[in-house]
Amino acid sequence: MTDIIIQNYEKTKKEILVDFNKDSFFENWQQNETWEVSFDVTKTDFNSEVFDFVDYESSVLFNGQEFVIKAMTTSGEGAHVSKSVTATHVYYTIQDGRQYNTVTGSRSINQLLTHIFSAGNRGFSWEVVDPNKKFLTVEQENFGNDNYLKLIEEILSDYDAVVIPNNKRLTFYPRSEFGEKIEEQIRYKYNTDSVKFDIDTYSLKTQIRGSGKKKDDGSNYFSPITYTSPESDKWGIRIQDPVEDERYTVAGNMTERLKQDLQDYPSISGSVTLKWRITPKKGDYVPFIYEPLNIKTYIQIVGIKTYPALPNKPPEITLSNTKKTMTSILANLAKKGVI
């Protein structure tokens, strides 16, 4: 296991963390949602100096990445003092910056990122990787006046993007182009006996209406658009809350937005418990084969929870819940009479 180093807030001292509860240490990454490490440590004669470094806003350096202690519980039992720590990736400190100014009009992802960081880069840098020109310009209305993290999350939603931090270097990819196909498969009775799918229809809808920006004279750039999914043939007309977004001045762009937003399939999330370690990277597409449910497809890994100090404990994998992949899985579940 790579050493865990604790660095004080002032970044003047650092020590290797020793004599901690290795069973408690895990690293958890969920695409566009979280990246954190967590561990428990009790003060002993061997770690008394580094134990004092374990404090709010101190850094945990692990696998070349910096995590900042944001949550900690301190407890005592007799003469023993223990700390339970959660440290989030340094990327999330980006929320401490704010862009007060706003921009309006058609903007590319690069233009919006430039706008965010024009208020100060706070040590961050960024790049957009889009060789196939998947990112389109989007009509924005008063983009800004928020903290950096919320503005980036808005970009991820508007441009269907993924951000991968490397400490304070941020790389943005189109979601459809992030990750590589690998041949290290997840297969029933080979490296997993347990596959779990949570399925519900609480939010299933088949029709949605959208309206865009109005002109100065009060007329519309385009008439409100109603999109009805082909799934309405099966489920009937179930109306989703409308989209009212003044960033849109082109009907075709709104139609694509409605197709993307409409939840016209049951909500599905999937996870697997593996028998041993595999070594996928963030966003990799792995062959997923589960004969009992007639599932054989490439599926994207959007979450990885690992236990680096426990070499025999395999990772917990979260599978893609994109419409294309999960609709295919849903069809196979239906064929098997599961749903």
> Among 122, 33, 321, 1, which residue's Cα sits nearest to residue 329?
321
Domain 5-90: which CATH number of 1.10.357, 2.60.40, 1.10.3470, 2.40.30: 2.40.30
Spell 96-113 as b/e; 16+ CB within 10 A means b: ebbbeeebeeebebeebb
pLDDT tens-digit map of 276-299: 666 778 888 887 777 766 667 777
pLDDT in tens, 160-217: 899 999 999 999 999 888 888 887 777 767 766 666 666 667 788 999 999 998 888 9
Extents of the domains making up the chain: 5-90, 97-177, 186-200+266-333, 207-261
- pLDDT tens digits, residue range 62-77? 999 999 999 999 998 7
> Nearest to residue 287, comparing CAs of 185, 207, 163, 211?
185
| Residue 136: band (very low, low, confident or very high) from pLDDT cuts 50, 70, 90 | confident
For residue 9, pLDDT beyond 80: yes
* β-strand pairing of 125-128 with 169-174: parallel
Label residue 336 exposed, middle or buried (CB < 10 Å: 0-12, 13-18, 19+).
exposed
CB-side neighbour CA atoms (13 Å) of 44: 10
pTM listed for this prediction = 0.74
Edge to edge, what strands does the sheet with 243-244 contain?
Answer: 225-228, 207-211, 243-244
> Is there a common fold for 5-90 and 97-177?
no
Q: What is the mean pLDDT of residues 229-247?
A: 91
Q: Could you tell me if 25 and 52 are in contact, meaning their C-beta atoms sit under 8 angstroms apart?
A: no
Confidence of residue 21 (pLDDT cuts 50, 70, 90): very high
> pLDDT: is 185 or 262 the higher one?
262
Residue 179 exposure: Cα atoms within 13 Å on the Cβ side: 23
Confidence at residue 247, expressed as pLDDT on a 0 to 100 scale: 76
Reading the block at residue 117, the tokens are 């960081």
Instruction: Give the residue-averaged pLDDT of 247-257.
Output: 87
Task: For domain 97-177, say whether CATH 3.55.50.40 is its number.
Answer: yes
CA distance from start to end of the chain: 43
Judge whether residue 131 has pLDDT over 80: yes
Q: Are 116 and 157 within 8 A, CB to CB?
A: no
pLDDT tens digits for range 321-332: 555 555 555 555
